Chains A and B, each alone.
Chain A
Amino acid sequence: MKDARSQRLGKSAERRRRRPRFSALLFLFPVTALLAAAACKGPAPPGGAGVPAAGPASGSAGSIPFPEPDESSWIRPAKDFSSSRYSTLDQIKSDNVANLKLAFTFSTGINKGHEAAPLVVNGTMYIVTPYPNYLYALDLTSPGAPAKWTYKPKTIPSAQGVACCDVVNRGAVYGKGRIYYNTLDDQTVAVDAATGQEVWRTRVGDINHGESITMAPLLVKGKVLVGNSGGEFGVRGWLTALDEDTGKVAWRAWSTGPDKDVLIGSRFKPFYASDRGADLGVSSWPGDMWKIGGGTVWGWISYDPQLNLIYYGTSNPGPWNPDQRPGDNKWTAAIFARDPDDGQAVWAYQWSPHDLFDYDGVNENVLVDLPIGGRTRKTLLRADRDGFLYVLDRETGEIISATPFAYTTTRTGVDLKSGRPIEVAEKTPHVGTTTRGICPAAPGGKDWQPSAFSPRTGLLYIPHNNLCQDEEGVQANYIEGTPYVGANVKMYAGPGGHRGEFTAWDPIAARPVWKIKEKFPAWSGALATAGDVVFYGTMEGWFQAVDARSGKLLWRFKCGSGIIGQPITYRGPDGKQYVAILSGVGGWAGAIVANNLDPRDGTAALGFVNAMGDLPTATTAGGMLYVFALP
């Protein structure tokens, strides 16, 4: 095991390993100092004002290459193919946002975690709920936005038993007069956006393999792109393309297994040497374990129409217990760039080869063109679970920089030559021992909660976590359709005692410009606007607007339940700018409330309950849409 690891870590890491232990701490020092300087200028109250930067925001550096110009609609959770979550609407701005008022509300009638972004198109708002995955259409042209119709898909309730982290759904996508979305029990549905009639329905997975679907599909060139969930159930991950008109499967790209299954062929040119070779999705696993190895595709997809490449990540390998799966475990905890026409891989990169901490690689990839080294580079920004902000060349998969944005003890950096993370060996969990002080914890420096990029400030606005954990490895036992984890975990707040942060990050200077501390993990998405106002929600239920340049709290509204949804904005039929958010606590972080978990068992919900014991006193469950506008 040790020999394999040394080989794996490469030369520079090997040198590090031979040095005395304190070298790792020294290496960490500048990073922690930097974070401390930015984050710890006095204790900010939860939801309080941001901490001003050491310097001003870097101006209008960076641009969104593929904006969605129609501001009267919001047709995919990330707004545009670049996944910017940025709107050019500027009626609501920093000097008038304080007047923002509630315009209308809508109850979803469901008490589970609401992680979806509403969609808006043709004067109608569409909301996908957590399981049982209803689709509501609200008429924005009538006072109070009454429901026009509700689509209730026929689903299998047992699917709730294979959803690792609450029965969430992250949203839908609009195209060709239809709303496309996924159900927890592995169906993709196309619904007529005008009438609510089902156009087609395709079953793409099987709950008896442990598969579920929680992700929002993306529509690219006539194909609905869908991926499975179940990294905690020994599922073999995949991304599947369905024909937008018929729902027929066009191609499926597995995340593990032989190259022909992974759709790796002659066009595959990964940037780093350790990602090259035949059938690595088999040879980097012991025996047949790739068949139950995870690498599910439950996060976000971006698309570059010029390069004709889609970008998406794969989940943690299964089981969590790393002792059971020596090897790199390709292609788990990785990113793929693929041709959407045939699914063929063009490059791939593994954020976490042989993942040790459930660092899924599925977070959003924000496509931004950045001036770096005197030229404009086509980049991809990734705030990963490992707590590092990666700037990648999206043409080649080369890492331009990788800098911690969250507190970390598990890695000291990324070797830009080999592309491999430089890991802190003593933080490796093993069977029969307890490893303490693993930071970030399993939900990562940042989990699924998507960031937003503003080309006006050049900053990426990242909602994220400040969590550490202790972990004890145990032997995982594979029984199809049941959890396959092999770890007992207890999470707790990272340094400072707060569990969440909202960070404005300068990707060129690779540093935070300001940070807001949150009592609970910042588990909602972010929204950036041309009014230089940034929106996000807290798990207590505050929906808030902060100044994009300073982080100063400008406005907030207390919603009925904690917020883990994704804010959007649009120009209504009356010409006014609206901002919408779903409240309804839950998800992995909020499972203690949504599922009434018992705080006396810290290991509950994969150890997240240990960190969230006070959430039930801060909020209650209940799904409700809130929409705001200026009077």
Chain B
Amino acid sequence: MRSKRAGRQLLVCAALAVLPVGCDKLSNSLHQPPSATVRTDAIAVSALEPGARMPGIVHKNPLEGNPFAISEGQRLYDWYNCSGCHFRGGGGIGPPLMDEFWIYGGNPANIYTTIVEGRPNGMPAFRGKIPDYQLWQIVAYVQSMRADKPIASPPGPREDHLQASEGKESR
């Protein structure tokens, strides 16, 4: 409860930060003197870089390729209703995840950020809703959808699975 309130306070402050009046408590962190350092560790969404090329940064998913993480990720992907928009990677309300096109970047850190922060054209922000280790499990599952990568999680054991065949009404 307490941390929730603190979080809300932080949000309010973040919103207020753009105004001349700030929150006393957090004014130190939000009103630091201008710094000469530049960030080189931020993950890029764009392939276009002005001036000299920066060394490529790959933020690896700590759980990438881990079969348990992928199978847990698959469960959570349904649990948090990711499947309601992206289905089994083919997309619907949201874009497909199994192809090679990434609107907001296919780097695991991009996918992580997309889930946490949301994206402006419909992707909800799941910040504060999903624990960090689960986020990386979901990312691991999403990474495994790419058709050119081996899928570590086996399909369900039931024989008459939806994917098994098609009803005889067809043709």
State the A residues within 8 Å of B (CB). 157-164, 232, 409, 432-434, 436-439, 468-472, 474, 477, 479, 481-485, 488, 490, 492-495, 497, 591, 595-606, 609
Contacts and interface: CB of A to CB of B under 8 A. Distances in A.
Given A493-B171, A598-B89, A470 B166 contact: yes
A603 B93 contact: no
Interface residues of B, number: 38
Given A468-B169, A490-B162, A497-B171, A482 B124 contact: yes
Nearest to A167: B122
A472 B87 CA distance: 14
B168 interface: yes
Contacts, number: 136
B170 A598 contact: no
7 contacts: A161-B93, A468-B169, A471-B162, A492-B166, A601-B91, A602-B90, A604-B92
Contact of B167 (A468, A485, A601): A468
B147 interface: yes
B169 A605 contact: no
B91 A492 contact: no
Interface in B61-87: 78-81, 84-85, 87
B85 A483 contact: yes
Nearest to A595: B91
Interface string B87-102: 1111111111011010
A599 B90 contact: yes
Nearest to A493: B170
B87 A163 contact: no
DSSP majority for the B interface?
A: loop
A163 B92 CA distance: 10
Interface of B: 78-81, 84-85, 87-96, 98-99, 101, 118, 120-124, 147, 158, 160-164, 166-171
A479 B125 CA distance: 13
B88 A604 contact: yes
B171 A161 contact: no
Q: Which of A232, A439, A479 is the most central at the interface, judged by chain B CB atoms within 10 Å of its CB?
A: A479
Contacts of B79: 477
A599 B167 CA distance: 19
B166 A161 contact: no
B122 A596 contact: no
A441 to B, nearest CB: 10
B171 A600 contact: no
A482 B91 contact: no
Given A493-B170, A606-B87, 19 more contacts: A157-B120, A157-B121, A157-B122, A158-B122, A161-B93, A162-B122, A468-B169, A470-B167, A474-B78, A479-B80, A481-B124, A482-B84, A482-B85, A488-B162, A495-B169, A595-B92, A596-B95, A597-B96, A599-B90
B123 A600 contact: no
A484 B83 CA distance: 10
B98 A601 contact: yes
A472 B120 CA distance: 32
Given A482-B84, A609-B90, A437 B95 contact: no
Nearest to A439: B169
Contacts of B78: 474, 477
Q: Identify the 8 closest CB pairs spanning chains A and B, nearest first.
A: A601-B90, A483-B84, A161-B122, A604-B90, A436-B167, A437-B167, A160-B122, A598-B96
Nearest to A159: B122
A477 B81 CA distance: 7
B167 A604 contact: no
A494 B91 contact: no
A600 B147 contact: yes
B166 A490 contact: yes
A600 B162 contact: no
A439 B166 CA distance: 13
A343 B92 CA distance: 35
A598 B89 CA distance: 8
Contacts of A599: 90
A392 B89 CA distance: 43
Nearest to A610: B166
Nearest to B162: A472
B87 A603 contact: yes
A597 B160 contact: no
A357 B4 CA distance: 41
Contact of A604 (B91, B101, B121, B168): B91
A375 to B, nearest CB: 41
